[in-house]
Amino acid sequence: MKKTVPYVYEFFVVLLGVYLAFVLTNWHEQQKINKEIKQIYDEINEEIFNNYQEVYSLNRKTRNSFAKFLKYENKETRREMKNLFNIVGEEGGIDFVQFRFFAFEKLNKMNISNQIPRDYIFKLKKFYAAIKNIDEVQKQINSLIFSPMCVDNKQIDVAFAYLMAILWQQQSWCFSLEEIFNSFPKEYPDIYLEKIQRDSIINKHYRNLKEKYNNNFNAYRRNNIISSLHL
């Protein structure tokens, strides 16, 4: 019996060593995953804000295009324009913005999506799906801008109407993207408010949108209270 005690002791020491090595390996692996998650978080948060800056830029430029369109809203004045390229008035067509997808695509390739909150992943997918739609629309606009339709007097009315419709769609997506983006600083203020504040133009725009939303909400609430009093 006494002879077996050292062997039992040695067995438990080895078992404990294996267990501790296993725990340590798992700990190192989890630390590595946590580091990857933090890195991708930082990258994707920065990318989302950069993309929103592009959305804001696109929104302004499409509004400028609409202002130019108003000068040619009837067919008589439309005959005076040389081509649709002159309306958008920027070299390279209306492909004004350059969206980034690298961080989002990197996240999709990494096996850590189950480590990230589902609501955050849902917002990301919604945001990037809308951006990709706009990206495709920009290609259509440029294709149209440089097509023979834009300089052919017989087809320019059709091209004009088509471009106007596409720009309306683009503008609508910009508004939708602003709504989606505004949910990020609302739910993750520590991350996004700092990014917004470092850009004076975006900061002013965001504050104006927030104030407008609050005013609309307060007016809606007052109307509901008044309506309920009349019942």
Report the number of distinct structural domains present in the chain: 1
Instruction: Look at residue 68 and tell me if it is in a domain.
Output: yes
* CA nearest to 144, candidates 133, 155, 153, 134: 155
Instruction: Look at residue 210 and tell me if it is in a domain.
Output: no
Burial of 48 (0-12, 13-18, 19+ CB in 10 A): buried
Instruction: Look at residue 19 and tell me if it is in a domain.
Output: yes
Instruction: Look at residue 92 and tell me if it is in a domain.
Output: yes
Instruction: Look at residue 101 and tell me if it is in a domain.
Output: yes
CB 47 within 8 A of CB 102: yes
What is the distance in angstroms between the CA of the first residue and the CA of the last residue of the chain?
91
Whole-structure pTM over 0.85, yes or no?
no
Task: Kindly report the number of other CB atoms within 10 A of residue 100's CB atom.
Answer: 17
Residue 62 backbone class (left: φ over 0; alpha: ψ -120 to 50; beta: rest): alpha
CB 138 within 8 A of CB 97: yes
Instruction: Look at residue 28 and tell me if it is in a domain.
Output: yes
Looking up tokens 């499409």 gives: 62
Instruction: Look at residue 206 and tell me if it is in a domain.
Output: no
Instruction: Look at residue 211 and tell me if it is in a domain.
Output: no
Dmax (CA) for the chain in angstroms is 111
CB 149 within 8 A of CB 159: yes
Range of the structural domain that residue 24 is part of: 4-198
CA distances from 180 to 49, 137, 144, 154 (A): 12, 19, 29, 41
Q: What is the pLDDT along the chain (231 residues), one digit of tens a residue?
A: 555 656 566 666 667 777 777 777 777 777 777 787 788 888 888 999 999 888 888 888 888 777 777 777 776 676 666 667 666 655 545 656 888 999 888 888 877 767 777 888 888 888 899 888 888 888 888 787 778 887 777 787 888 888 888 888 888 888 888 888 888 888 888 888 888 888 888 888 888 877 766 665 455 444 544 443 333
